[in-house]
Every structure is written in C-alpha cells, then in structure tokens.
Copies of this chain bind each other. A is one copy, B any other.
Amino acid sequence: MSEITPTEELSQWLATLETALARADADAAAALFNEDSYWRDLVSFTWNIATAEGKPNVRAMIEQAAIPAKPTNWRLEGEASKSGDMTEGWIRFETAVARGYGYLRLTGGKAWTLLTTMTELKGFEEAKGTLRAKGVEHGVQPGRKTWLERRRQEEAELGVTRESYVVIVGGGQGGIALGARLKRLNVPTIIVEKNERPGDSWRKRYKSLCLHDPVWYDHLPYLPFPDHWPVFSPKDKIADWLEMYSKVMELDYWGGTECKSARYDDAAKQWTVEVLRNGKPMTLRPRHLVLATGMSAVPNLPEIPGMETFKGDLHHSSRHPGPDAYKGKKAVVIGSNNSAHDIAAALWELGADVTMIQRSSTHVARSDMLMDLALGGLYSESAVKAGITTDKADLLFASLPYKILPSLQVPVYAEMKKRDADFYARLEKAGFMLDFGDDDSGLFLKYLRRGSGYYIDVGASGLVADGKIKLKSGVAVERVKEHSVAFSDGSELPADLIVFATGYGSMNGWAAQLISKEVADKVGKCWGLGSDTRKDPGPWEGELRNMWKPTHQEALWFHGGNLHQSRHFSQFLSLQLKARMEGIPTPVYGMGPVHHVS
C-alpha cells in the first residue's frame, strides 16, 4: 500500500463525511471521529455557538444539527500539513442556506478537532469585491437622488418614521464592529450610545491608558489599521479610529442617546426601547435588541462603611480622570489588576504618593513575554509575513475548543515563569501575591473564565517591586474615614484620593437595569466557561455563557469582549440576525439550561 499525502488523507476523510451525512447516517459520520474529539460549530449547523465534546456528543450534533442542515461540497482548501500523527488543513463546505469555512485536525486518521463556521448566507452575500455597489448608476434617471441625499434621508427616517430591525445598546468597539457587519448585510440597525461621539468611552478614561493587546490582534472588520499603527494604541488614537470607522462605514450611530428601558412584546415579537436622544424622549421598536454595553459596563463599587464621610476624591477606576490633579497627594488604589496598575503607575509618574491594595493574588504576565510566547504565533508581524491573515488567525484560535485550551496554555505559562523567574522573584519579595490561574493556565483563560484577575505588565510591576508604588497585600478594606483608609489588619493609610479598581459585574446586570430582573435572571450570567475555578463556578458550559448567541430571552443578544472578539464574533452574531430578518429557518441546537443568575 502506498503512502497517501496529507492532502489526500484529509480530502478522503471529507469525502467520507460528506457521503455519510448525505445518507443521514449519523453512526457512519460519528465513526470518523476519535473518542476524544471535538466539533466546534459557529452558527453554520447549530445556529448557535456550540462545541460537542466527545464522540457521543458529536454523534448527537451530527444527527440533530449537521444532517438536517444538508451539508454538501466539503473540500480541502490548499494543501494539508502533517506533523507527527496529526494531519490538519483548511476546509470549505456548504449547507442548504449558507457557505462555511473551517479547520480540521485528524489524529490516527480520525477527527480530533473540527471547526465549522458560517461565512455567508446564500443569496444574502455581502456586497463586496465583484458584488460591490457601483456608486453611481450609469445612465440617467429623472429624479434620482445622490448618495448624500439618500444617506441623509436614511438618517432622518431610521428610528423616526421607519423602524430599524436591530437596536444595539452601546457604541464601543463591540457595537461598532457589529454595526459595520450589519450594515454590509443590509440589516437596518441603530447604535445607541450615551456618549456624544464614537470613541468617547475610550477618551474619557484615565489619560495614560493604552490598549494592552497588540495591534495585530485589534483590527476591526473590513478596514485594518495601516501598517504604521502603533503596537499598543493609545486610548485617544483608538478613539479617533473608531470615530472615523463609524463614519466611513456609514453606521447609524446615535451619540448622546441614553437607553432608559426596554421591554419585549411576546405577541408582537417586537421590543419597545425608550431612549433619550439629546435629551428628547423617543421610542424605538426593533425586532432584536443587542446589549453591547461592554464587559466593563456595570462597575463593581464595594460598599465600605464611612465612604460617604471621605473628604478627598473617591471614585471607581472607570471614572478616574488620570493623575494631573494629584501631584504630591496621597493616593490609595484598591485592586491589583490592569486598571489598578495603570492608574497607580501614572499617579507615581506625576509625583503622587501611591499605595496599591492587593486583596487577593494576581496573575502578572509581561507584555513582551505574552507577545513572544502566547500571541506572536498568530498575531504579530512575523505571523503576517507567514501569510496568517487576521481571519485565519481568528479561525486557528477558534479551532481549539475551550475544553482543551488549558492543557495547551499550561506549558506556555510554565515557560514564562521560567524565563521571567527573576522578575517574579522580585515581585514576591516585595510582598506581591502571584498566581498563574487555579490550574496554572494563565492569562487568556482567566479572561475567559472571569474577565479579571491579571495584569499585563507594561512597567508598573517594576515600580511595585522597587517599592516606588507601595504595596499593602492580603488585607481587606474595612472602613473609609475622613482622610484615611483603615484595613483588616488594623493599619490605616492617610489618603487624598481613593480609587476603587475593583472591576465590573456580569453583563446581565445591564439587562436587569434596562429590561427587568426577571429577564436578567431568565438569561442568567454572561461570560465564563463553568470551569469550576475561582469566580467561574461550574458546571462546565463549553462556550462563554450568552455571548454572541441565542439567549433564553427571545430576540435578546449580548455582544462584547476585547477587540479580537468584537471583530470575530460580530461575524456570527450578524449572520444570525440577518437570517432571522430574511426568514431563513434558524433551529438552535445545544441551548443549555441557566445555572447562575449573576
């Protein structure tokens, strides 16, 4: 028997899968998977974001989602590659209603991981490339309107005399990325944002803020940053970009508009959304409501006895203006994650006397090391040079189900711990409590599980290690007095400024505020994987709760995350909304019960 090439191996596997699915033979299709295997589907078969883990669950997904979707035309794109026992490659396929793209890994000739994602709905493709608008209709048409006249008419009518199909609450990068995708799909959408201009939610944060993620990870859909864009975008620069992007993508962006309430009419299948647009009450009646209020929308401000008696400035980190007013003052920063470090460092740079209060252990990873060890393979200049486009990087990352991610991350952080041993030793010597996650799986899993608990070091850790930022570790804040803060160990610190860098609550808290406690409880907690680690209670969910996928409240969606997630998952949320607008059946597979309400 002659050796077959990796490309032949994958092609044959796909052909066998296609035959089995076409015959509706779930057993034969499932037989192509290992016992330990994963099929992750982003919308193409499940109309959900769902991962089937293990052969029995894969078989169930095949029977109940894949076969009914009538997939055809499975084929390899490009050449497959082989390394040891593993053969892998890019795949394309179609369903009755859509086209898809994915990534397949075989071990021992059977599937270990299969990623399937929807790229476009047949008959509703984005008007791009050869399908783009002509811009001017050649020939002459009496009474025709110019682009500007049509655009102005659209702006005047949408939400006023003509309802939008979608309302997105929140016009940060999440709302903007989703708005751009919906615009390209011709889904009428209004983005409601309480700040005046796109980008203001960045502009209004502390002045030293820069993105902690590198530029290759941060592109918005369709319009990548030019290649001189700084690695770590300063906040005002990313704000200007978001503003420019919203304008040239022709988003219907209602700045200066506050969402006051929303309620769903089950019979009419329609939301009633009350907003104040530049102070004027208006009612919007979209079919779908997306909360893109951000992971960082509902500040956690702990209630501490005596807070109201404090004579200095006291605020949550989301309201911290930056250090300018605090030169020579005494500052207490409560918290030890990203914001706490950024704010403390900027205060120290300006000459404030700063103490950081660390209440529990924190994961610290140096930014350079993260690039080298964790992100660089997919998101870096060398990845770009190796032909890994942003789209491909996103899909390669998505091709690793969350269940197996910790096992792949643990060695990365073990290496980081080794390379930066001196750095970590200095921090510990200064009294800083370190961790690498409950299972040593590091930063990205902390982000997925709880969205907190880490600092990406861009310099402040050195100040902590050197004692320039003073540290008080392992204590709780017991009381705020007129000019000081008192701690659980009996000590007390004088303070002119107290910053609570104490994080944010679950996004469904925003649903409780806008809609009702009942709806918030019905949909349950957002984010987190159910990993049964600190701040991420089980049971295991397999995917982030409620994000970018149907919730237990009809027509209510949550969108958010970092720029990478806003870019990548807006694709799948936009396709789900477009399909519903066009009346394409969207049977949802794999909708689990709600385990936690917040």
Interface residues of A (CB under 8 A from B): 126-130, 132-144, 146-149, 151, 184, 207-208, 210-211, 215, 222-223, 226-234, 236-237, 240-241, 244, 247-249, 345, 348-351, 367-368, 381, 384, 457-460, 462-463
Contacts and interface: CB of A to CB of B under 8 A. Distances in A.
A134 B232 contact: yes
A346 to B, nearest CB: 9
B234 A138 contact: no
A276 B587 CA distance: 65
A146 B227 contact: no
A240 B348 CA distance: 42
A232 B136 contact: yes
B345 A140 contact: yes
B236 A146 contact: yes
B133 A230 contact: yes
A236 B233 CA distance: 29
A138 B458 contact: yes
Contact of A138 (B129, B132, B459): B459
Contacts of A129: 227, 381, 384
Contact of A349 (B141, B147, B348): B141
Given A248-B241, A367-B138, A462-B139, A222 B227 contact: yes
21 contacts: A126-B228, A127-B228, A129-B384, A132-B227, A132-B229, A132-B230, A132-B231, A133-B230, A134-B232, A135-B234, A136-B210, A136-B232, A138-B457, A139-B458, A140-B459, A140-B460, A146-B208, A146-B234, A222-B228, A226-B249, A240-B247
B136 A350 contact: no
Given A138-B368, A240-B247, A148 B234 contact: yes
A190 B141 CA distance: 43
A237 B135 contact: yes
B140 A228 contact: no
A327 to B, nearest CB: 10
A206 B136 CA distance: 14
Given A135-B233, A142-B348, A184-B228, 16 more contacts: A132-B215, A132-B231, A133-B231, A134-B232, A136-B210, A136-B232, A136-B234, A136-B458, A139-B459, A140-B348, A140-B349, A148-B207, A151-B236, A226-B248, A240-B248, A244-B247
Nearest to A466: B140
A148 B235 CA distance: 9
Nearest to A180: B226
The 3 closest A-B pairs by CB, nearest first: A135-B230, A147-B234, A244-B244
Given A136-B458, A236-B147, A458-B136, A128 B228 contact: yes
A381 to B, nearest CB: 5
Contact of A226 (B144, B210, B222): B222
Nearest to A468: B140
Nearest to A349: B142
Contacts of A351: 142
Nearest to A245: B244
Most chain B CB inside 10 Å of its own CB: which residue of A140, A184, A240, A368: A140
A350 B147 contact: no
Contacts of A143: 349-350
Nearest to A367: B138
Nearest to A351: B142
B230 A134 contact: yes
A250 to B, nearest CB: 8
A450 to B, nearest CB: 25
A214 to B, nearest CB: 9
Contacts of A345: 140
Nearest to A236: B148
B140 A227 contact: no
Given A135-B210, A143-B349, A244 B248 contact: yes
Nearest to A132: B228
A597 B229 CA distance: 44
A149 B184 CA distance: 36
A223 to B, nearest CB: 5
A211 B136 CA distance: 9
A232 to B, nearest CB: 4
A412 B129 CA distance: 25
A233 B250 CA distance: 14
Nearest to A143: B349
A147 B237 contact: yes
Contact of A462 (B140, B231, B368): B140
